[in-house]
Structure 1
Amino acid sequence: MFPAENLRDWRGEKVLDPDGSKIGDLEAVYVDTATDQPAFATVKIGIIGRHKLAFVPLDGATVLPSAVRVRYDKKTVGDAPTIDLDGELEAAEEPKVFAHYNLPYQTSAPGVRRLARR
């Protein structure tokens, strides 16, 4: 995996699915609070005037010239939990993001956040 500080440089770049189809544009990186490693990105999806930010795991993602390729197809990311462009992921919504991708969700202690935006 690549360091989160390098991935931040890709804000606004294309996010592609495994087949090379554009999913959207990378908006932000969320790190796992236990490891401080990149865990998810938000991707700007939708049509003009109706954009949302969808969450996609960064595990297995690769950086290409002017794009980031993720392991999940466009439809799966499009169906993922979203937030508004100026929104924030609520703590209660974190488990839904992980569940959408069939990823285990566990925090180090009750009330502790698993994801932090960088």
Structure 2
Amino acid sequence: MIQVGDIREWRTHAVVDPGGHKIGTLEAIYVDTGTDAPSMATVQVGLPTRHRLVFVPLDRAVVGPGYVKVAYDRSLVKACPAIGTDDILPAEDEAAVFKHYGLDYKPGAGGERRLARP
């Protein structure tokens, strides 16, 4: 498992898919609020004048020299629901991100968010 402290060091490094194709640049890490374990990353994608952030799960991610390799294909990641580079993911949109990757989504027992930036 990737440790939060370790992956923070990789901010601004390339995020690549299993085939080594660059998806974008690592922007931030989100932890699962139930476990405090790294869960998702935001990746900056798009043209220089029209950047956006997409989410990608960190399960099975591998850190290499200057990159983070995720287990999801570039086209799937780029099609994920996105937010602006200065925005935050609204709580009501979290389920759509999980659904996009075929992952189960369960908010906290009190209905709280599932993802948070440490």
TM-score normalized with structure 2 length: 0.97
Name stretches of at least 5 consecutive residues in structure 2 with no aligned partner. Answer: none
The corresponding residue for 1:12 is 12
The corresponding residue for 1:98 is 98
Check if 1:28 corresponds to 2:28. yes
Check if 1:113 corresponds to 2:109. no
SS state of the match for residue 112, structure 1? coil
AA at the equivalent of 1:106: K
Partners of 1:85 and 1:45 lie apart in 2 by 10
Q: CA deviation at 1:110?
A: 4.0
Partners of 2:84 and 2:71 lie apart in 1 by 24
1:43-101 superposed Cα distances (whole Å, 9 cap, x missing partner): 00001111000000000000000000000011000000111000001000000000000
The corresponding residue for 2:84 is 84
Name stretches of at least 5 consecutive residues in structure 1 with no aligned partner. Answer: none
The corresponding residue for 1:43 is 43
Partners of 1:42 and 1:72 lie apart in 2 by 13
Q: CA deviation at 1:5?
A: 1.5
Check if 1:58 corresponds to 2:72. no
4+ runs deviating over 2 angstroms: none
Partners of 2:4 and 2:96 lie apart in 1 by 23
Q: How many residues align?
A: 118
